[in-house]
Amino acid sequence: MFGMVTLISCEGPEGPAGMDGADGTDGVDGNVSCLSCHTQVKMDAIEDAFAEHKHVSGTSWSYAGTRESCAPCHDGEAIVTFLNSGALVAGYGVGLECGSCHNDHASLEDDIDAPVRMVASVASVAFEGVTYDHGTGNVCATCHQARRDAASYYGAEDATYTRKFTGDDIAAYENASVGPNGSITLDGDTLIVVFDVPAATHVYTSSTHAGPHHGPQANMFAADMGSVAGTPFERDHHTDCASCHLSDTTAATGYGHSFEPDIAMCDACHGDALDITAEMAAIEARMDAVAEALEALHAIHVDEDGAVHPMYASLPTAQWNAFWDYMCLWEDKSHGLHNFNYAKQLLTAAENALGL
């Protein structure tokens, strides 16, 4: 790649004459601006940081990327097909590549930016007819959004579900939340649990992967994914994922390709008016208390690593909504930052429902 870029920057339209030094002003400028990005040192730093990131090293790519329904968000090439044509194709199980987000320069004149695939407002997967707009971050929001909403779990008719548990699951489910007429029976080495779900009063958690899916960040901004809607985070500043997540432009972070926001940079602007770290810590503390209460209800299980796993359960609607709202905050992973006001609204509702 660098051979090619060097070649083009020497012989491209912006001025071979300059490179030859004959009457060079234009060409030299062109070349210097190319080299603000296209140097071996800078590109190596980016590649190193990028290789460490979950966009490459994560475990979901290898298997989810080969399945058509998952691939647009879990395969570095299927996403390009999806962005170009809207087609859902199975991928090869490869993580993101530079070209998943970048394409070619539209122009090599004047102020040259890194060419990021420009994507129009993104269609919501969970809510028909809804779109999200995150500027250059639309490429991010294409993937980083919820796949389901709370309503998809609400039943229309009374139902019972029987599940059998063995091994370690017996201890986990011997006090399960089973609804008003549910039952728990140990039969030899099998625990038989009947979940009773009256549609008017209860909601059933039908999977240990229940929730909005793992990256509902765009929905947090839109305030549309909790059990109640809230006010979108629509400031002039920062709804573009890239402006925060590629803000650390030092070599140490591969010029933003750690995708970690530079909190010191945020603080330089926000000063004492908004203590970002303290706000996130306060939200995290409230989330921890809610998680503890949900664990006591056997709505979730928190493992040794602190990861949260939903449990099969029939819960009174208000408690189930608390579970759902907690999962939204947990999966968003920003400790409320993507919409502090909405995070607080969801937490207050959950605390009330759980008697905290």
Number of residues this chain uses to bind ligand HEC (CB under 6 A): 91
Single residue of 34, 119, 225, 297 touching ligand HEC by CB under 6 A = 34
CA distance 319 to 190: 28
Nearest-approach distance from CB 88 to ligand HEC, in angstroms: 9
Angle at 21 (CA atoms; ends 18, 25), nearest 5 degrees: 45
Considering beta carbons, is residue 151 or 209 the nearer one to ligand HEC? 209
Instruction: Decide: 270 and 244 in contact? Cβ < 8 Å.
Output: no
Structure tokens at 44: 């190596």
Instruction: Decide: 353 and 321 in contact? Cβ < 8 Å.
Output: yes
- Does 123 participate in binding ligand HEC (rule CB under 6 A)? no
Displacement of CA 299 from its chain's centroid (Å): 23
Sign of CA dihedral 14, 19, 25, 28: positive
Contact pattern from residue 46 through residue 85 relative to ligand HEC, giving x for each residue in contact according to CB under 6 A and a dash for the rest: xx--x---xx--xxxx--x--x-xx--xx----x------
Nearest-approach distance from CB 322 to ligand HEC, in angstroms: 22
- Does 13 participate in binding ligand HEC (rule CB under 6 A)? no
**139-178: contacts with ligand HEC (CB under 6 A):** 139-145, 147
Considering beta carbons, is residue 9 or 345 the nearer one to ligand HEC? 9
Structure tokens at 226: 């909790």
First vs last C-alpha separation in the chain: 58
Give the Å distances, CA to CA, from 8 to 44, 102, 278.
19, 18, 49
Nearest-approach distance from CB 71 to ligand HEC, in angstroms: 8
- Does 9 participate in binding ligand HEC (rule CB under 6 A)? yes
Considering beta carbons, is residue 193 or 242 the nearer one to ligand HEC? 242
**91-110: contacts with ligand HEC (CB under 6 A):** 96, 98-102, 104-105, 108
Nearest-approach distance from CB 272 to ligand HEC, in angstroms: 13
Structure-derived torsion over alpha carbons of residues 123, 125, 129, 131, reported in degrees to the nearest 10: -40
Instruction: Decide: 178 and 314 in contact? Cβ < 8 Å.
Output: yes
**254-293: contacts with ligand HEC (CB under 6 A):** 255-257, 259, 261, 265-266, 269-270, 274, 276
Task: Compute and round to an integer the Cα radius of gyration of the chain.
Answer: 25
Q: How many residues does this entry show for the chain?
A: 356
- Does 113 participate in binding ligand HEC (rule CB under 6 A)? yes
Nearest-approach distance from CB 342 to ligand HEC, in angstroms: 9
Nearest-approach distance from CB 11 to ligand HEC, in angstroms: 9
